[in-house]
Amino acid sequence: MASVAACPPCGPDAVLCCRAAVISMSQQSWQQGAWPAAPNASSSSHVFSTRPPRDAIAGASSGLKTFARSLSAGSAALICTPVEAARDGGGVTGTLRGACEGIATAALLPCAGAVFAAGQFARGVAVTPQALVQSLRGQRWSKSQRCWTVDMYSLAEEAARLESRKTKSRKDRKGRNRDEEDASSEGSRRGGVRVHGREYYKLLQVNPSASDVEIRRAYYRESKRCHPDKAGSDPLMVDRFHQLSQAYQVLRSSELRDAYDAGGKDAVVRLSATVDLGALYAAVLSGPQWEPYVGRFALTWIMSGQEDQSGADILDSLTSVWLAPTESPSVWQAQREVHCAQVLAERLEPAMSSDDGAHAEFVAAMRKEADDLAKAPFAPALLLAIAEVYANEATRFLGAFDMRVLTLGREFMQAHSRGRLCLQQARALTSGTRAIMALRSLIAEEGAPAAASSESPRQEPRATTLCLERPAVQEQLPLLAAALWHFTALDIEGTLRRVCRRVLSDISVEAGERRQRAEALLLLASTLREAAEAHGHTGSPGEDRTLLLDKVSETASRMASAGTRGTSKSNAESGDM
């Protein structure tokens, strides 16, 4: 029998291969007079889901997916069967026979899908009371085993395990960095370099092939002769000192030095207006003030320019952010979430006290901190996103303690959370697609003049590096910011959901104290929401075009003057929380 798993991943052949598998399944069921009791896992299980559902909502979701897949398979068979028959040279008779087979398959598969969907929903309804009871007992649903298991999660144990792993990784990284430094020191001298800019080398009295160490020594030697403390107020000496400082600032940076060698001072000026989107994103949207809440944003890590990140790695990381899975997608993400969970548990501790004074101090401190956070540009949107996740997860957890089973508060909150997540995913997918198209166009336009003016092949710029002085870049900045924001919202959603569940499912804390944590989390969410709404705009950063351009220009100028455009070197310690 044809196997769906053996089909190509895409293309017309993949469609025809899937059609063949569907036809084989339908023919087998037709010959046996009934649908096989145990269909091949490599074919029918890809269409019809028979896994035990967790509850009524999971059963309905599984049923809808099954019906949608069967409808898609039937539609593919209806279209592809006559095409395949005609391609195989069957003539008019073969085409008509293929059309009949396609019609039969298109009618059979949706009917079978509807039966399976109804069965899955019925199974979900039947096990919903058991799911509520198991939730009340503190058990969790294992997706791999498809059954309820005792939740033995301990935040302290996971933190110790990850800390041990991070220590070992840090030692390995130090060893690799030491080897790379030894290798780079052997080939640090630049030889046989043809340069267009020579003025800075003449000022420092070094050759264009001088190493970084020679340039640094030359700068110290020449600057001592004309330093204002030694030369006094002589305007010529003061001017020469400033020229030496400017020359050293350019030549000590490998990126600026390459630009100066290729195009002189004009190339350095152009590069000074160039900024990396990853570094700009980190400076505008993220910051140290958010780390106690969400840690280091995933997009900051993805766009940080790690040299060991391939295009496939970046795509996998973005996909993990977009999917917002229930489990941590990487070790780095787990370390980030455990750190945030520990900070959150410590933050909620005063609110769990029976002392009214401590509770009032907690509320006052949280309001002051939220007001301070909300004053920054785009902060209200971040605060509102954090508050939404806190409120949803706290309500979801407290629903498990609600003995009024008929209210189904936990299930409704879970459905609401899933609906909001689907909406965010749709927005991120739409804006991300538009941003990628715009970014590719901008990179192509920016790379063409550089390639035409360069006499020797140069290293291609990173795909996230743009010159902010170009009107086309300024025109597309709101679109790029909106895409980054939607992925940031998904990052916050997925990360904080897992953070809250770590805090609320920690078996090292009694169930009653975990309930107090959830109530304190609701109070914190309300405080953050009030602060966000009190300080105005809570929408996407791309919606306020004037504020966005002003903030980006201010940040880019500050980064350029500090030499931190984020395009030359990666942060080796960025993996440590």
pLDDT confidence of residue 496: 94
β-pairing verdict for 139-142 and 274-276: unpaired
pLDDT confidence of residue 520: 93
- How much helix, strand and coil, in percent to the nearest 5, is found in the chain? 70, 0, 25
* Adjacent-strand bridge partners of 147: 142
Q: Read off the pLDDT of residues 525-564 as tens digits, 9 standing for 90 and up.
A: 999 999 988 887 666 665 666 666 666 666 655 555 554 4
pLDDT-derived band at 181 (thresholds 50, 70, 90) equals low
pLDDT confidence of residue 258: 81
H/E segment holding residue 550: helix 545-562
pLDDT confidence of residue 497: 92
pLDDT-derived band at 368 (thresholds 50, 70, 90) equals very high
Assess contact for 507 and 151: CB atoms under 8 A.
yes
Domain boundaries, the chain: 4-137, 196-272, 281-562
Assess contact for 196 and 261: CB atoms under 8 A.
yes
* DSSP codes of every residue in 191-230: -S---S--HHHHHHT--TT--HHHHHHHHHHHHHHS-HHH
What CA–CA distance (Å, rounded) separates 306 from 302?
8
Assess contact for 158 and 505: CB atoms under 8 A.
no
Q: Read off the pLDDT of residues 450-461 as tens digits, 9 standing for 90 and up.
A: 555 444 444 444
Whether domain 196-272 has CATH 1.10.510.10: no
pLDDT confidence of residue 495: 94
What CA–CA distance (Å, rounded) separates 15 from 35?
23
Decide which of 434 and 343 is more confident.
343
Q: Read off the pLDDT of residues 205-239 as tens digits, 9 standing for 90 and up.
A: 888 888 888 888 888 888 888 877 776 667 788 78
Backbone angles phi, psi at 142, to 5 degrees: -90, 115
Q: Where are the alpha helices (DSSP H) in 375-510?
A: 379-399, 409-453, 471-504
* DSSP codes of every residue in 466-504: EETTSHHHHHHHHHHHHHHHHHHHHHHHHHHHHHHHHHH
Assess contact for 154 and 507: CB atoms under 8 A.
yes
Q: Read off the pLDDT of residues 465-505 as tens digits, 9 standing for 90 and up.
A: 666 667 777 777 778 778 888 888 899 999 999 999 999 98
- The pTM of the full predicted model, rounded to 2 decimals, is 0.61
Mean pLDDT of 372-387: 86
Which percentage of the chain shows pLDDT scores above 70? 67
Amino acid at the residue 328: S
pLDDT-derived band at 406 (thresholds 50, 70, 90) equals very low
Backbone angles phi, psi at 215, to 5 degrees: -65, -40
CA 507 to chain centre: 29
